[in-house]
């Protein structure tokens, strides 16, 4: 069934959009990522104008994250205190990110910057997670299926002032590292046009030392607010949020997120991480491939002027 999208001004198959929303929703619920880094390129691919795809995707992420976070709240796997600290950083970061984005847009080549950002960050994070999870799985096997709880290392992070107790995460650390993580993720999220979960999740695990089970819910909690902020910004300045497109994507997305959250709970943390790593690496590989291989059409059309 074809549906004409009023803002995007293109006609697309409704079931295709529902399906895409569903698949990305499952992944979102499983890994606590908004799914924007997968959905946005997919929307470009089916012919949605990039500006509309980025803005509408932000709106859709609000829905799937909200659905996911409710499931996590019931399970008490959301660290609200940590989420709020990250959110404060995130909002500051996305504000800065948008300023940076517009500055680079004036210089031209913003598209290339976005692609390079994707390749570099996805590649780095994917590779790190993959190696780490493989090691973890090997260790579990060696010790006869019982993981040896590692003693928490004390490094410079623990000597910073403004310490706060994060009971759900079982942490007593300074608020400075989570704030910095929030800002950095916010900047990247604004530039790359995504929620930033795929950067946030590893940062929480490896930099802040939060338990994996709490990480997913907390990341979703923070993403809701950052993407809601982005949606409003796009809707009021660029008029590029397509509500019909958003509804189709989010109907599939919210159902997918519920299923995904349930799958995620049944899986082992190491397995969850290795699958996320593989997915991140696959997207990175595809984007790198596009940059390196000669495109079939050298020319492209754009509406905005160039400098």
Partner 1 sequence: MIRLVALFALLALPAKAEEIVLGLSRDEVAITATFEGSEILIFGAIKRDAPIANTDDLGVIVTVAGPDKPVTVRKKDRRLGIWVNTEAVDIDVAPTFYAVATNRPLREILSPSEDLNTRISTQRAIRSVGTKSENAEDFTRALIRIRAGQGLYQTLPTGVSVEEETLFRVLIPLPANLTEGAYKAEIYLTRGGEIVDLYTTTIPVKKVGLERWLYNLAHENAFLYGLMSLAIAIGAGWGASAVFTLLRR
Query: By the criterion CB under 8 A, which residues form the site for partner 1?
Result: 1-4, 6-7, 9-11, 47, 59-60, 62-68, 70-71, 74, 108-109, 111-112, 228, 231-232, 234-236, 239, 241, 243-244, 246-247, 250-251, 254-255, 257-258, 290-295, 297-306
Nearer to partner 1, 111 or 267 (CB): 111
What letters, b where the CB count within 10 A reaches 16 and e where it falls short, cover 147-159?
A: eeeeeeeeeeeee
Rounded CA separation 305/190 (Å)? 22
Nearer to partner 1, 278 or 291 (CB): 291
Nearer to partner 1, 279 or 287 (CB): 287
Total number of residues shown for the chain: 307
Q: How far is the CB of 150 from partner 1 (least distance, A)?
A: 35
Q: Residue 284: count other Cβ atoms within 10 Å of its Cβ.
A: 21
Rounded CA separation 158/203 (Å)? 16
Residue 168 is classified by DSSP as: T
Tokens of 51: 């500006």
Radius of gyration of the chain (CA): 19
Q: How far is the CB of 146 from partner 1 (least distance, A)?
A: 31
Nearer to partner 1, 59 or 169 (CB): 59
Nearer to partner 1, 126 or 252 (CB): 252
Rounded CA separation 101/224 (Å)? 21
Nearer to partner 1, 99 or 112 (CB): 112
Rounded CA separation 218/222 (Å)? 6
Residue 31 CB partners (closer than 8 Å, separation 6+): 197, 198, 201, 216, 260, 264, 272, 275, 276, 279
Q: Residue 27: count other Cβ atoms within 10 Å of its Cβ.
A: 23
Distance set, CA 80 to CA 51, 83, 119 (Å): 32, 5, 31
Rounded CA separation 115/110 (Å)? 9
Nearer to partner 1, 146 or 301 (CB): 301
β-bridge mates for residue 166, sequence order: 171
Phi and psi, residue 237, nearest 5°: -105, -40
Nearer to partner 1, 106 or 293 (CB): 293
Q: How far is the CB of 24 from partner 1 (least distance, A)?
A: 14
């Amino acid at each position: 069934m074809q549906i004409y999208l009023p803002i995007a001004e293109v006609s697309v198959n409704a079931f295709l959009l529902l399906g895409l929303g569903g698949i990305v929703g499952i992944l979102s619920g499983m890994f606590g990522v908004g799914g924007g880094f997968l959905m946005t390129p997919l929307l470009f691919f089916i012919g949605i104008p990039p500006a509309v795809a980025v803005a509408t995707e932000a709106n859709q992420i609000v829905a799937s994250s909200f659905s996911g976070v409710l499931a996590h709240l019931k399970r008490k796997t959301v660290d609200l205190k940590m989420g709020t600290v990250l959110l404060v950083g995130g909002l500051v970061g996305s504000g800065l990110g948008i300023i940076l984005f517009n500055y680079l847009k004036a210089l031209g080549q913003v598209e290339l910057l976005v692609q390079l950002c994707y390749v570099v960050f996805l590649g780095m994070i994917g590779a790190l997670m993959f190696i780490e999870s493989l090691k973890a799985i090997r260790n579990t096997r060696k010790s006869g299926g019982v993981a040896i709880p590692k003693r928490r290392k004390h490094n410079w992070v623990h000597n910073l002032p403004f310490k706060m107790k994060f009971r759900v995460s079982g942490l007593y650390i300074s608020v400075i590292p989570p704030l910095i993580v929030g800002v950095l993720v916010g900047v990247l999220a604004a530039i790359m046009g995504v929620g930033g979960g795929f950067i946030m999740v590893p940062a929480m695990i490896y930099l802040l030392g939060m338990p994996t089970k709490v990480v997913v819910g907390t990341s979703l909690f923070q993403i809701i607010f950052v993407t809601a902020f982005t949606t409003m910004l796009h809707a009021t300045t660029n008029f590029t949020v397509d509500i019909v497109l958003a509804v189709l994507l989010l109907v599939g997305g919210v159902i997918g997120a519920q299923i995904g959250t349930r799958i995620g709970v049944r899986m082992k943390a190491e397995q969850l991480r290795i699958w996320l790593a593989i997915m991140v690496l696959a997207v990175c590989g595809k984007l790198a491939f596009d940059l390196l291989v000669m495109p079939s059409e050298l020319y492209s059309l754009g509406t905005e002027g160039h400098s």
